[in-house]
């Protein structure tokens, strides 16, 4: 009987020493939240053991160890999010809008805007005027079809086309800063020679 | 003697002219540009820059390689120049390893490294313009950010 009691003491001692159950493993927790539009973006969580995609707001991923793959996304109770993250979340500054971004898309191998993007132009014009902006970046890109030199030229024509459209809408030339990068900076990475509509674009960044 | 003086003068002048002609490209390392500002700070909250601890107050400018740090009752909220928002809860530390937002040059990059504590993040323009150039590291994982809002907890040692 006394022997058993000793064994028990030893077990308790070992538990205290190594943390036995009561002590949770150290875990990183990453939770995706809805943004102000109620939408969530996409984040990928990668360890040396593997990778998980998190694309549902309110879901979280736990990472126990850098050698293990991240645990598959699970819903996280709002209460848990609040318990853990309220101090951090309440320190988050108010939404900033020092810049407004418009992305205008083009038809394949042309300086012709898609219909949706043509419709965006008056919004671009209004934004520049209402912000009284004197700093607007107009940045041209292409997808990865064709040679580098050809695409640098195409991206230049696209950017200058948008510049001309804005000038014709009464934006002052000195507020517009044009640059272009050909196929060097795709928004959606693809292999060479892959057509990708989302890469045929001009970014208009309004300060 | 006079000749060598004249030559020295010429060399100095030439150097100045070359430096001037390089325009704004000559910037000493220590004057790294402002990449954001502190918008909220409460309790023990500080910015550690080159070994010096600066108490965080609203309006304090943030630079590349700064570490943000909070004590048991502290929190800090920062806004970056691309409109990215970042905040830390108590007992937290995070290093800003990299921040580049240069629309004119088309260069965009953000790399944050969380050491411990809790953080909230709302992405700005960099995630939209260069989705593969926005990274958030924890001691055990790397988070790629494609335009979103998320929170992270890292349980320190």
* pLDDT single digits (tens) A49-100: 999 999 999 999 999 888 888 989 999 999 999 999 999 999 999 887 888 9
Per residue in B73-114, pLDDT tens? Answer: 999 999 999 999 999 999 999 999 999 999 888 889 999 999
Q: Are residues A201 and A165 in the same domain?
A: yes
Q: Are residues A104 and A160 in the same domain?
A: yes
Q: To which H or E segment does residue B7 belong? A: helix B2-21
| The residue to which tokens 């335009």 are assigned | B147
Asked if A41 and B76 come within 8 Å (Cβ–Cβ), the reply is no
Query: What ipTM was predicted for this assembly?
Result: 0.77
Would residue A8 count as lying in a domain?
Answer: no
pLDDT band for position A17 (cuts 50, 70, 90): very low
Euclidean distance between CA atoms B68 and A119, whole angstroms: 43
Tell me the three state secondary structure of residue B115. strand
Residue A7 CA neighbour count, 13 Å, CB half = 4
* Domains identified in chain A, total number: 2
Residues of chain B in contact with residue A95, where contact means CB-CB under 8 angstroms, are 85, 122
Q: Are residues A107 and A67 in the same domain?
A: no
Q: Are residues A111 and A189 in the same domain?
A: yes
- Domain final position from A72, A90, A108: A90
Phi, psi for residue A191 in degrees, rounded to 5: -75, 160
Would residue A115 count as lying in a domain?
Answer: yes
Q: What is the CATH number of the domain that holds A119?
A: 3.30.1330.60
- Domain final position from A90, A111, A132: A90
Would residue A9 count as lying in a domain?
Answer: no
Show which of residues 126-155 on chain B sit within 8 Å of chain A, judged by CB atoms: 127-132, 138-155
Q: Are residues A140 and A180 in the same domain?
A: yes
Q: How many CB pairs under 8 A join A and B?
A: 162
Q: What is the pLDDT of residue A19?
A: 44
Would residue A202 count as lying in a domain?
Answer: yes
Q: Are residues A85 and A145 in the same domain?
A: no
Would residue A68 count as lying in a domain?
Answer: yes
Q: What is the pLDDT of residue A139?
A: 94
Would residue A2 count as lying in a domain?
Answer: no
Would residue A13 count as lying in a domain?
Answer: no
Per residue in A127-141, pLDDT tens? Answer: 999 999 999 999 999
Q: Are residues A67 and A121 in the same domain?
A: no
Q: Are residues A86 and A145 in the same domain?
A: no
Euclidean distance between CA atoms B127 and B142, whole angstroms: 15
SS (H, E, C) chain A: CHHHHHHHHHHHHHHHHHCCCCCCCCCEEEEEECCCCCCCCEEEEEECCEEEEECCCCEEEEECCCCCCCCCCEECCHHHHHHHHHHHHHCCCCCCCCCEEEEEEECCCCCCECHHHHHHHHHHHHHHHHCCCCCEEEEECCCCCCCHHHHHHHHHHHHHHHHHHHHHCCCCHHHEEEEECCCCCCCCCCCCCCCCHHHCEEEEEEC
**CA closest to A96 among chain B residues:** B83
Q: What is the pLDDT of residue B2?
A: 56
Chain mean pLDDT for chain A: 87
Q: Which domain holds residue A152?
A: 100-206
Show which of residues 73-92 on chain B sit within 8 Å of chain A, judged by CB atoms: 75-79, 81-83, 85-90, 92
Q: Chain B: give the shortest CA distance to residue A186, in Å.
A: 8
User: Which residues of chain B fall short of a pLDDT of 50?
Assistant: 1, 16-29
Would residue A7 count as lying in a domain?
Answer: no
Q: Are residues A84 and A148 in the same domain?
A: no
Q: What is the pLDDT of residue B131?
A: 83
Q: Are residues A144 and A189 in the same domain?
A: yes
Q: Are residues A78 and A107 in the same domain?
A: no
């Amino acid at each position: 009987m006394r022997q058993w009691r000793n064994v028990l003491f030893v077990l308790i001692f070992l538990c205290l020493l190594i943390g036995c159950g009561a002590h949770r493993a150290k875990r990183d927790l990453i939770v995706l939240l809805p943004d102000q539009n109620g939408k969530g973006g996409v984040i990928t969580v990668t360890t040396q053991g593997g990778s998980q995609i998190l694309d549902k707001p309110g879901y979280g991923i736990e990472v126990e160890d850098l050698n293990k793959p991240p645990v598959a996304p699970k819903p996280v109770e709002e209460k848990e999010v609040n318990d853990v993250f309220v101090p951090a979340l309440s320190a988050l500054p108010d939404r900033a809008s020092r810049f407004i971004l418009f992305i205008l898309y083009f038809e394949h191998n042309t300086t012709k805007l898609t219909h949706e993007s043509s419709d965006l132009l008056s919004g671009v014009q209004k934004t520049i005027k209402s912000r009284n902006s004197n700093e607007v970046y107009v940045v041209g890109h292409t997808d990865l079809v064709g040679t580098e030199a050809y695409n640098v030229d195409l991206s230049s024509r696209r950017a200058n086309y948008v510049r001309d459209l804005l000038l014709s809408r009464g934006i002052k030339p000195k507020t517009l800063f044009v640059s272009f990068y050909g196929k060097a900076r795709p928004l959606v990475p693809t292999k060479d020679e892959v057509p990708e509509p989302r890469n045929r674009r001009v970014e208009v960044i309004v300060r | 003697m006079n000749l060598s003086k004249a030559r020295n003068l010429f060399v100095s002048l030439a150097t100045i002219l070359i430096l001037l002609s390089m325009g704004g490209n000559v910037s000493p390392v220590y004057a790294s540009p402002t990449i954001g500002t502190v918008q909220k700070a409460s309790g023990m909250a500080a910015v550690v820059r080159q070994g010096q601890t600066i108490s965080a107050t609203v309006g304090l400018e943030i630079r590349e390689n700064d570490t943000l740090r909070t004590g048991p009752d502290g929190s800090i909220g920062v806004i970056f120049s691309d409109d990215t928002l970042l905040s830390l809860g108590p007992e937290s530390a995070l290093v800003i390893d990299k921040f580049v937002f240069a629309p004119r040059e088309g260069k965009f990059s953000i790399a944050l490294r969380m050491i411990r504590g809790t953080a909230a993040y709302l992405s700005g323009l960099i995630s939209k313009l260069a989705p593969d150039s926005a990274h958030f590291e924890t001691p055990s994982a790397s988070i790629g950010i494609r335009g979103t809002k998320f929170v992270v907890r890292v349980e320190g040692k």
